[in-house]
Amino acid sequence: MNIAWVIVVLLVVIFLQGMVYSKWGLRGIRYQRHFKQTTAFEGETIEMVDEIENRKWLPVPWIRLESKMSPYLTISSDQTNENKPDVFHRTLFSLMPFQRIRRTHQLVAKRRGYYPLDTVSVTTGDVVGFGETFDSVSASTAVTVYPKVISMDDIPLPSHSWFGDITVRRWIIEDPFLQKGVREYQYGDPLQAVNWKATARTNQLQINQKDFTADHHVMIYVNFDLNEDIRLPIHDEQVIEKALSYAASLANTTIEEGMATGFGCNGYFVEPFTNKTAPIKPSVRVEPSQSGQQIEYIFDAIAKLTMDRSRNFRAFLQEEIDLERTNTDIVIFTAIMTEKIEHQIQQLKAMGNAVEVVMLDQVQTEAGEADAS
């Protein structure tokens, strides 16, 4: 056989194998993707697992997986991708007949948020690489990244703040419905508190001793306004991110102290947790509670906030006034203070609430001066 026939046969073989892989290359390919943990904290490393299987006799010389991901979920701690709107994660496999490959990727969660991964582009081709076949595969999974929790010493509460007192005293008042026990009578005790059965048993005057209860609730607010014009975008996202980290850390401490704690802000949730077509999206509120799951609810709400506003903060505070919120300790993290906001704060105080304001712009200025010195 001369060289011409060799070339012809070779071209026929290349053409036929190209036809085979074009028709059957992606058949019998099964792909799954998931995160080993569905939640993480900012800065932690999480594991994403790719699992691909070839369920046919035809080997696959190469197959490429490509998916769009947030720049805040990266393979390493490299900072180069953070300024990009999206990055692409690519993985290359080679599959023998009926082979399954499982590959784990280490990702760094650089910023709090909700990160869904919906589809994966799957591409394969023939042995010589002359042709490619493409398909899009559904592989829905998601990870929720909680904000970073910092020490209470790093939260810039004013030196005159009442928070140090409430973490010790927990706004303790005597509850007439909670019976703790009995004690000996002391001068000044009311006669209606005498426990006559215990008195008869001990031959000494005994008084019912009441237990204590934490009467006040704690609400932590974050103001997303950096200016009064809601049409303007948030120009310094780091200020809001820092405020959310403060709020999460404060809530973590108050709940550990046994105080019913809630969270609120004038932002709104990312899709699909908010109505995309709603003209005005609802503001975010997690009502105070001291249940075992409350801190997870607050962390989850903060993680799923988008960097935008549903309304001005003064409108948010007006909602709180309309809800007739009372008997609550309120901490507000804000970068601006206007006359209208100050007026509404005074209204909240008049309704029986204690309000503490932490000015974020003053915090940044002080930090900048410290760095300069």
Q: Which string of DSSP letters, residue by residue, matches 33-93?
A: EEES-SEEETT-EEEEEEEEEE-SSS-EEEEEEEEEE-TTEESSS--TTTTSS-EEEEEEE
Which of the four pLDDT bands, split at 50, 70 and 90, describes residue 359?
very high
Residue 122's nearest CA partner among 221, 52, 59 is: 52
pLDDT value, residue 179: 54
CB 289, CB 262: distance < 8 Å: yes
pLDDT value, residue 48: 93
pLDDT at 173 over 50: no
Which of the four pLDDT bands, split at 50, 70 and 90, describes residue 81?
low
Q: Average pLDDT for residues 256-268, to the nearest whole number?
A: 92
Residues 32 and 156 occupy one common structural domain: no
pLDDT value, residue 112: 96
Domain containing residue 196 = 174-213
Q: Average pLDDT for residues 226-253, to the nearest whole number?
A: 92
Residues 117 and 39 occupy one common structural domain: yes
CB 232, CB 225: distance < 8 Å: no
pLDDT tens digits for range 311-354:
999 999 999 999 999 989 999 999 999 999 999 999 999 998 98
Residue 189 lies in a domain: yes
Q: What is the mean pLDDT of the chain?
A: 83
pLDDT at 100 over 90: yes
pLDDT value, residue 257: 83
Which of the four pLDDT bands, split at 50, 70 and 90, describes residue 368?
very low
Sole residue written with tokens 């008195």: 199
32 Cβ contact list (under 8 Å, min separation 6): 50, 51, 52, 139
Residues 221 and 366 occupy one common structural domain: yes
**Percentage of the chain exceeding pLDDT 90:** 51
Domain count of the fold of the chain: 3
pLDDT at 30 over 80: yes
Q: Is the peptide bond before 272 cis (omega within 30 degrees of 0)?
A: yes
Apex 148 CA angle, 146 and 154, nearest 5 = 150
Please state which of the ranges 48-57, 101-110, 174-183 shows the lowest mean pLDDT. 174-183
Residue 285 lies in a domain: yes
Return the H-helix or E-strand segment holding 228: none
131 Cβ contact list (under 8 Å, min separation 6): 18, 21, 22, 125
Residue 198 lies in a domain: yes
pLDDT value, residue 314: 95
pLDDT value, residue 176: 46
Residue 20 lies in a domain: no
- At 274, which CATH number? 3.40.50
CB 254, CB 170: distance < 8 Å: no
pLDDT value, residue 204: 76
Residues 222 and 366 occupy one common structural domain: yes
Residues 111 and 181 occupy one common structural domain: no
Which of the four pLDDT bands, split at 50, 70 and 90, describes residue 184?
confident
Which of the four pLDDT bands, split at 50, 70 and 90, describes residue 4?
confident
pLDDT value, residue 101: 95
Structure tokens at 237: 């996202």
CA-CA distance, 144 to 72, in Å (whole number)?
12
Of the two residues 115 and 164, the one the predictor is more confident about is: 115
Residues 127 and 234 occupy one common structural domain: no
Q: Average pLDDT for residues 223-242, to the nearest whole number?
A: 91
Q: What is the phi/psi pair of residue 63, to 5°? A: -145, 135
CA-CA distance, 261 to 217, in Å (whole number)?
6
pLDDT at 38 over 90: yes
Residue 8 lies in a domain: no
pLDDT at 170 over 50: no
Residues 259 and 185 occupy one common structural domain: no
Which of the four pLDDT bands, split at 50, 70 and 90, describes residue 15?
confident
Q: Average pLDDT for residues 223-245, to the nearest whole number?
A: 91
Residues 195 and 301 occupy one common structural domain: no
Q: Average pLDDT for residues 203-226, to the nearest whole number?
A: 76
Of the two residues 266 and 7, the one the predictor is more confident about is: 266
Residues 157 and 303 occupy one common structural domain: yes
Residues 295 and 317 occupy one common structural domain: yes
Which of the four pLDDT bands, split at 50, 70 and 90, describes residue 274?
confident
